[in-house]
C-alpha cells in the first residue's frame, strides 16, 4: 500500500510540475514578441577590411579621400538596407500571422502587401542610388579595377560556399 501511495504522490507531483511548466511556457509565448536575431550579412565580406584597406586602395588606384567617400557610401547603404530588411522581416512576420486565422482581414492583407512591395522597392532603389553615387566618386578606369576586384571576391565567396555545401548545387562537370 505504501508503494502505491508513494507512486501516486510522485505522479501527482510530476503532473503538477508539467502543468506549471506548460503554463509558464504558454504565457511567455503569448506575452513576449519573438526575439530579434541580428541580420545575417549576405554576400562576400566588405572589400575594405581593416587588414587590406591600403592594398585595395592601391590596386584600384584611388586616393584616401575617395576611399573615405566610398566607405561612407557603403556604410550608409548598409545602415539603410539593414533598416529596410528589418522592416520587411517584421511585415512578413505580420503577414504570416494574418494567415494563421481562417478568416482573413482582406483590408489588412492589401495594406501589408502594399507596404512589403514598397519596402522591396526601397531596397532596389538603395542599390541603384549607391551605384550612381559610386560612379560619381570613381573615374571609369578606377571603376573598372574595382569591378574586377569585386567580381573576384564574389567568385571566391561562391566557391567557398559551394565547397562547404557541395550537395546544394547540381554538378557542373560534363562527361
Q: Is residue 104 part of a domain?
A: yes
Q: Is residue 24 part of a domain?
A: no
Domain that holds residue 70: 46-159
Q: Is residue 107 part of a domain?
A: yes
Task: Write the pLDDT tens digit of every residue in 50-96.
Answer: 778 888 889 999 999 999 999 899 899 999 999 999 999 999 999 99
Question: Can you give the pLDDT at residue 100?
Answer: 87
Q: Is residue 82 part of a domain?
A: yes
- Show Cβ contacts of residue 143 under 8 Å, excluding neighbours closer than 6 positions: 134, 135
Query: DSSP 3-state assignment of 38?
Result: coil
Q: Is residue 75 part of a domain?
A: yes
Q: What is the CATH number of the domain that holds 60?
A: 1.20.120.1490
Q: Give CA 40 to chain center in angstroms.
A: 4
Q: Is the pLDDT of residue 172 over 80?
A: no
What cell does 155 get?
A: 567568385
Only one residue has cell 512589403, namely 116
Question: For residues 105 and 109, what is the distance between their CA atoms, to the nearest angstrom?
Answer: 6
Backbone angles phi, psi at 130, to 5 degrees: -60, -45
Number of domains in the chain: 1
Amino acid at each position: 500500500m505504501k508503494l502505491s501511495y508513494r507512486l501516486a504522490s510522485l505522479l501527482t507531483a510530476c503532473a503538477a510540475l508539467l502543468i506549471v511548466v506548460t503554463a509558464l511556457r504558454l504565457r511567455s509565448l503569448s506575452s513576449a514578441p519573438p526575439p530579434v536575431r541580428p541580420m545575417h550579412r549576405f554576400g562576400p565580406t566588405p572589400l575594405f577590411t581593416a587588414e587590406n584597406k591600403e592594398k585595395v586602395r592601391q590596386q584600384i588606384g584611388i586616393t584616401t579621400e575617395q576611399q573615405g567617400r566610398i566607405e561612407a557610401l557603403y556604410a550608409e547603404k548598409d545602415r539603410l538596407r539593414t533598416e529596410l530588411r528589418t522592416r520587411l522581416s517584421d511585415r512578413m512576420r505580420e503577414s504570416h500571422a494574418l494567415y494563421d486565422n481562417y478568416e482573413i482581414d482582406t483590408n489588412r492583407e492589401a495594406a501589408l502587401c502594399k507596404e512589403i512591395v514598397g519596402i522591396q522597392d526601397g531596397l532596389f532603389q538603395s542599390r541603384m542610388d549607391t551605384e550612381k553615387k559610386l560612379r560619381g566618386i570613381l573615374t571609369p578606369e578606377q571603376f573598372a579595377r574595382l569591378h574586377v576586384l569585386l567580381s573576384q571576391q564574389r567568385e571566391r565567396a561562391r566557391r567557398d560556399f559551394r565547397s562547404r555545401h557541395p550537395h546544394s548545387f547540381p554538378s557542373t562537370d560534363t562527361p
